[in-house]
A and B are shown apart, each in its own frame.
Chain A
Amino acid sequence: MIKVVGLKKSYGRLEALKSISFEVEKGSVFGFIGLNGAGKTTTMNILTGLIRFNGGKIFIKGKDFLKNKQELIRTIGYLPETPTFYNYMNAYEYLNFIARIIGCDLKKTRKSVGKLLEMIKLTKHGKRRIGGYSRGMKQRLALAVAFMNSPEILFLDEPASALDPEGRVEMLELIESLKDDKITIFLSTHILNDAERVCDKICIIDEGKILLTKNLSQLYETYIQPIFDVEFEEDPEEAVNSLKKLSWIESIKENGRRISIYVKDIDHAKKEILKEISKLNTNVTSYQIRKSTLEDIFMRMVSKNEII
C-alpha cells in the first residue's frame, strides 16, 4: 500500500530524515513509534503531500507519489497532531467546506456531515464557532475531516494526545473497527500501550533513522527476553559491577536501588541468577521476572548506551 525507499528530508543543516525505508501492507495498522522530534510528523507530512522532501521515492498503491499526487491524495485522510481550522466557521460549515474540496455530492454530504457530527459527538456544538472549541473537541472534528469520503489510507498523528482517558479508549476501539473495514492505518504515537494494542507492525524511529521495522508478533519472538528486576536494600553499585562480569548477562539498567538485568540465555539465567545474587553480600528486598513489553524494547532501541 505504501512503500518508502530512502526518504530524506533536511531543514537547512538539520537532517530530519536520514534515508528511511519501510513498507505498509494494505489493511494493516502500522505503528510509527519515536520520541518527540524523532521525525514522525515530518514523515507523515511528506506522505500526505504537505511538505517536499530532498531524496528518495514514495509509492502509494504501487504508483509514484510525486507523479500522481493529486489522484493519490484523494484516497488519503490525515489527522494532524495539532489540527487548525478556519476558526470563524462552525463545524457544519467547515465539514461542508472540506466536502466541497473533495467534491462529494452535496446532498449526500449534508446527510454525511450530520452523521459525522453524530459520530464525533459534536451535533450539539455543530453551530458554534470552532474558535471556541476545546482541544479535545477540535481533535474530534479533525477526525471527522480525516474520515470524510471514506479514505483508503488514514494517517493519524498522535490521535489520542488531546483526548481524555475515555476518548482515548474510544479512539483505540475506533482504530480496531477500522482495521476490520480494511482501511490501512499509519499511526504515529509515543504511547506504547496503545501501539501494542492495535498495531500489526511496529516501526521505531529515532533521530531521523529507522531502528527497526517488524511485525508485532515477530518482534516479541525476537526480542522476547524476560527481564530480571532485582531490588536491593542498599545502593547496589558493587553488586552491579560483579554481575556485569558474567558472560551470560547482556546488560544491566540501574534505577536507584532497583536494577533490571537483561540476559542472553533465558534458561541458563533462570538457574544461575539467584545463585549469583546470593553470592553477593547484600540484602535483596524483591526479585521478579518480567516479560518484556514494547516499552522495554523501545527503551533499549533508542537509548544509545544499550547494546541491541
Chain B
Amino acid sequence: MRSFKAYFKKEILESVRGNKYLILFVGTIFWALMDPLMLKLLPLILKNYLPADLIVLFSTFNRDTAFQTFLNDLFQIGTIIIALTLMGLLSNEVSLKKLVFPYSRGASPAGVVLAKYIHYTITISLFILIAFLTNYFYINRLFTGGMLSIEIALKSSLLYILYYSVLLSILLYFSSLFKRGLIAGISVLVLGYSLSIFNQFETIRVYLPNYLLFKAADIGHIFDNSLIPTVIISFCIIILLVFFSILRMKKIDVA
C-alpha cells in the first residue's frame, strides 16, 4: 500500500511533466471533434468534383454512422497513441535503473505495478468517456436520423473502456517482458489490430477482446448475451496479466 501510494503520486507527476496527459487527451478527444465535422464538410467540398451518385453516398450519413466512424478512428489512432506513449511503463524503469533506490528501500513490486496499471486505466477511461460525450454532442448538432442516444453512447464507451483496460494490461506485461519499450509498443499494436480480423468469424470472435469493439458499434444491440464470454475473458486477461507483471517485476534484476 505504501509503494502503491508513492508510485501513484509519482505517475501523476510523471504524466504532468512528461506531457503524457496532454498527449493521451489530444489523442482521444481530437477525433471526437474532428470526425463529425469532416464527415459533414467532405460532401460540401467534394460536391463540385464528384459525380452526384457518389455524393449521395456521402450524404447518407446519419447520427449512427457518424458515431461508428468515430469509434473506428478512435480505435485505429487511439491505440497507436496509447501504445507509443505508455510502452515504457515498466521497461524504462528497469533498463534505466530507476528502481534501484525504490527497491533498495523496500518498494513492493505489487504496489508499483498496480499503481501504474490503475493510474493509467483511470486516466484513459476518463479521457474515453469525455471523448464519447463530446462526440455525441457534436453528432447531435451536425447530423439527423439514426437511433443514437446518450444511453447508447455511454454503453458503447463502457465497452471501449473495458477494451483499453485489456490492451493496457497487455502493454504492461509486454513492457515488463522486453527491455526495450518500443518492442512492447509495437507488439501490442500488431496484436490489437490483428485480433480485429477475427470479428468476421462468429464462432470465435466472442472469445476475443476485440469483440468488445464490434459490439460497441452495434448500435441498438450493444449489450446482449453474446458479450458475456467476452467480458469474462477480458477480466481474466486483465487479472492474469497484471499478476504476471507483478511476478516478473519481483524476479527481474533491477540493477
Residues of A within 8 A of B (CB): 45, 48-52, 70, 73-74, 76-78, 80, 83-86, 88-89, 93, 97-98, 100-103, 142, 145, 148-149
Beyond A86-B98, A89-B13, A97-B10, is A45–B255 a contact (Cβ under 8 Å)? yes
Which residue of chain B has the shortest Cβ distance to A75 in the bound complex? B106
Q: B5 near A: Cβ within 8 Å?
A: yes
Q: What 9 A-B pairs come out closest when comparing CB atoms? A: A100-B6, A50-B255, A51-B253, A78-B104, A88-B17, A45-B255, A103-B2, A73-B106, A101-B6
Which residue of chain B has the shortest Cβ distance to A145 in the bound complex? B101
| A95-B255 Cα distance, complex, nearest whole Å | 20
| A303-B55 Cα distance, complex, nearest whole Å | 86
Contact with A along B80-116 (1 / 0, CB 8 A): 0000000000000000111011111111100000000
| A51-B255 Cα distance, complex, nearest whole Å | 6
Residues of B within 8 A of A (CB): 2-3, 5-6, 9-10, 13-14, 17-18, 96-98, 100-108, 251, 253-255
| Shortest Cβ gap from B101 to chain A (Å) | 5
Which residue of chain B has the shortest Cβ distance to A44 in the bound complex? B255
In the complex, chain B residues whose CB is within 8 Å of the CB of A88: 13-14, 17-18
In the complex, chain B residues whose CB is within 8 Å of the CB of A98: 6, 101-102, 105
In the complex, chain A residues whose CB is within 8 Å of the CB of B106: 70, 73-74, 101-102
| Shortest Cβ gap from A67 to chain B (Å) | 14
| Shortest Cβ gap from B105 to chain A (Å) | 5
Q: Is the CB of B6 within 8 A of A80?
A: no
| A102-B2 Cα distance, complex, nearest whole Å | 7
| Shortest Cβ gap from B224 to chain A (Å) | 46
Beyond A50-B100, A51-B253, is A145–B105 a contact (Cβ under 8 Å)? yes
In the complex, chain A residues whose CB is within 8 Å of the CB of B2: 100-103
In the complex, chain A residues whose CB is within 8 Å of the CB of B9: 97, 100
| Shortest Cβ gap from A12 to chain B (Å) | 13
> Chain B CB within 10 Å — which of A85, A100, A102 has the most?
A100
| A80-B100 Cα distance, complex, nearest whole Å | 8
In the complex, chain A residues whose CB is within 8 Å of the CB of B10: 86, 89, 97
Question: Which of B100, B101, B108, B251 meets A70, CB within 8 Å?
Answer: B108
| A159-B229 Cα distance, complex, nearest whole Å | 57
| A51-B254 Cα distance, complex, nearest whole Å | 6
| Shortest Cβ gap from B197 to chain A (Å) | 39
| A227-B22 Cα distance, complex, nearest whole Å | 69
Q: Is the CB of A84 within 8 A of B3?
A: no
What are 17 pairs between A and B in contact, CB < 8 Å?
A50-B255, A51-B255, A52-B251, A74-B106, A77-B104, A78-B101, A84-B97, A86-B98, A88-B14, A93-B13, A97-B102, A100-B5, A100-B6, A102-B2, A102-B106, A148-B105, A149-B105
Beyond A86-B14, A100-B6, is A76–B104 a contact (Cβ under 8 Å)? yes
In the complex, chain A residues whose CB is within 8 Å of the CB of B107: 101
| A73-B104 Cα distance, complex, nearest whole Å | 7
| A142-B105 Cα distance, complex, nearest whole Å | 12
Which residue of chain A has the shortest Cβ distance to B112 in the bound complex? A101
> Chain A CB within 10 Å — which of B102, B103, B105, B251 has the most?
B105
In the complex, chain B residues whose CB is within 8 Å of the CB of A149: 105
Given contacts A45-B253, A51-B254, A97-B6, 4 further A-B contacts (CB under 8 A): A49-B103, A51-B253, A78-B101, A83-B101
| A52-B250 Cα distance, complex, nearest whole Å | 10
Question: Which of A78, A89, A148 meets B100, CB within 8 Å?
Answer: A78
Question: Which of B5, B96, B98, B105 meets A102, CB within 8 Å?
Answer: B105
| Shortest Cβ gap from A148 to chain B (Å) | 7
| Shortest Cβ gap from B179 to chain A (Å) | 14
In the complex, chain B residues whose CB is within 8 Å of the CB of A142: 101
In the complex, chain B residues whose CB is within 8 Å of the CB of A73: 104-106
Which residue of chain B has the shortest Cβ distance to A73 in the bound complex? B106
In the complex, chain A residues whose CB is within 8 Å of the CB of B5: 100
> Chain B CB within 10 Å — which of A70, A98, A101 has the most?
A101
| A88-B12 Cα distance, complex, nearest whole Å | 12
In the complex, chain A residues whose CB is within 8 Å of the CB of B17: 88
Q: Is the CB of B6 within 8 A of A84?
A: no
| A88-B106 Cα distance, complex, nearest whole Å | 22
| A86-B96 Cα distance, complex, nearest whole Å | 10
| A49-B101 Cα distance, complex, nearest whole Å | 11
Question: Which of A50, A97, A145 meets B103, CB within 8 Å?
Answer: A50
Question: Which of A50, A100, A103 meets B104, CB within 8 Å?
Answer: A50
In the complex, chain A residues whose CB is within 8 Å of the CB of B13: 86, 88-89, 93
| Shortest Cβ gap from B254 to chain A (Å) | 5
Question: Which of B6, B97, B104 meets A49, CB within 8 Å?
Answer: B104
| A50-B101 Cα distance, complex, nearest whole Å | 9
In the complex, chain B residues whose CB is within 8 Å of the CB of A76: 104
Q: Is the CB of A101 within 8 A of B255?
A: no
In the complex, chain B residues whose CB is within 8 Å of the CB of A51: 253-255
| Shortest Cβ gap from A68 to chain B (Å) | 12
In the complex, chain B residues whose CB is within 8 Å of the CB of A74: 105-106
Which residue of chain A has the shortest Cβ distance to B16 in the bound complex? A88
